[in-house]
Amino acid sequence: MRRMFVLTMALAAAAAAPAAAQLLAGMPAWNSPKGGSGLTLSADYGLPNSDAGGGDAYGIRGSFGFSKFTVAAGYSGYQADGAADRLSSFGAGAAFQLLGGALNPVNVNLVGGIGTTGNVPTGVGDLDVKTYYAGGGVSINLPVPGFAIEPYLSVTNRWNSASGVDTQSDLGWTLGANVGLGMFGLHVAYDSQDYGGTTGSIVAFGAHIGFGVPGM
């Protein structure tokens, strides 16, 4: 039980904003049900609470949107309270928009992905942990002059697995917002997940820059 508790606390993850994932250690499940076209590059900083391992994380992500699809990949470096080293996580995810558009203020999407965190310390040695997630999100486009503001709520199931350990399955939710300022933007999120009877949470924020692709 202690081994799995350490594994799940070490994995509070995500990828893609604006896209989606709960894959990168120390990060929330970023999302943007509104989606978008072209390339978006993001830089993030996460602060897990003590039940999620504490410490801090930094990350970089890239996403590419076309039509109703978004694909993304990212990296995070997470150092828990008392840990000597940072864990490195890599992940990739995808999102599909079910509802939304230029004239529709409500957006709904499906998200999914896979990630890995190497050398997670446990009482019996270091393990490589695989993380999977699947779920969906809903957002609203707020009509604020000069800004593109998108508050959202996502609900995803997260699975953590490692060699010789039973897969841990937990449900989590993310409340966040994406703010666009032309090609530049900001994003913030609060992520909550059950960790074997305790509630781990992450507060995170970051900035992103978008590059349009001609013809898209």
E-assigned strand segments in the chain: 20-21, 30-31, 38-48, 56-66, 69-79, 87-101, 104-122, 125-140, 148-162, 165-181, 184-195, 198-211
Task: Assign 1 a pLDDT band (cuts: 50, 70, 90).
Answer: very low
Give the chain's domains with CATH numbers: 2-211 (2.40.128)
Pairing of strands 30-31, 87-101: unpaired
This prediction's pTM: 0.87
**Token pair for residue 100?**
């939304």
pLDDT digits (tens, 9 = 90+) for 39-70: 999 999 999 999 888 999 999 999 999 999 99
Pairwise pLDDT comparison (137 vs 104), residue with the higher score: 137
